[in-house]
Amino acid sequence: MTNETQEIMALFAKLVQSRYFVASAWMTVGKERRRDFMNTKGKSRLLNLLAAKDGLTNAEITELLDIRPSSVSLQVKALEEDGYVTRQASAADKRVSLIFITDKGRDSIEKGDLETDKLSETILAGLSESEINELRVILSKIANNVQQTQFDSAFFEYGHHMRHQNHGDWNRSRFPW
């Protein structure tokens, strides 16, 4: 590894060790994943489902989210108590309740999205539009390289060995990643 690539990898390591940077990255990924209800958890998963497909029954929610009916009932009740959803009797069948997201629920989702955007803007502040475009291209290439890389078992065994040798601590003087 050349000095240049070592320096670049050290800068990446510095970024991924920053809680602020990692939180921003995960929040951004989360913002995109929230649209995919199978990849979010708990009440936010239900809230995002209702934001996209309002007026569902408990049975429909159970099927769409693939969770137990008792879990749906508990989540709907908690969201209703907090003012994020409401229940209304179905016009077609008064025995069935339809679950609707409230303005407070939509505002909550929007507020989370705005906070995520603000954090991303803060991290990228000071970069010009052309630098941001260049960074996007470069990071896409790196992400593609990482995705296509086949790490052999020796790589992981070495890391496992070093972690145990250092009593669970990734000692930078002995193991510089």
Mean pLDDT value of segment 57-71 = 92
Confidence label for 165 from pLDDT (cuts 50, 70 and 90): low
pLDDT of residue 77: 94
- pLDDT above 70: percentage of residues in the chain: 77
- C-alpha span between 78 and 87 (Å, rounded): 12
Mean pLDDT of 141-157: 72
- pLDDT for res 101: 96
For the chain, the C-alpha Rg in angstroms (whole number) is: 23
As a whole number, the mean pLDDT across the chain is: 79
Question: Are 110 and 56 spatial neighbours (Cβ–Cβ below 8 Å)?
Answer: no
**Do the Cβ atoms of 51 and 108 come closer than 8 Å?**
no
* Cα angle 127, 123, 140; round to 5: 70
User: Could you give the CA distance from residue 44 to residue 40 in angstroms, rounded to a whole number?
Assistant: 7
Q: Which pLDDT tens digit goes with each residue over 22-62?
A: 777 777 766 665 554 444 567 888 998 999 899 999 999 99
CA distance 24 to 121: 10
Closest CA to 84 of 38, 41, 51: 51
The confidence score (pLDDT) of residue 37 equals: 47
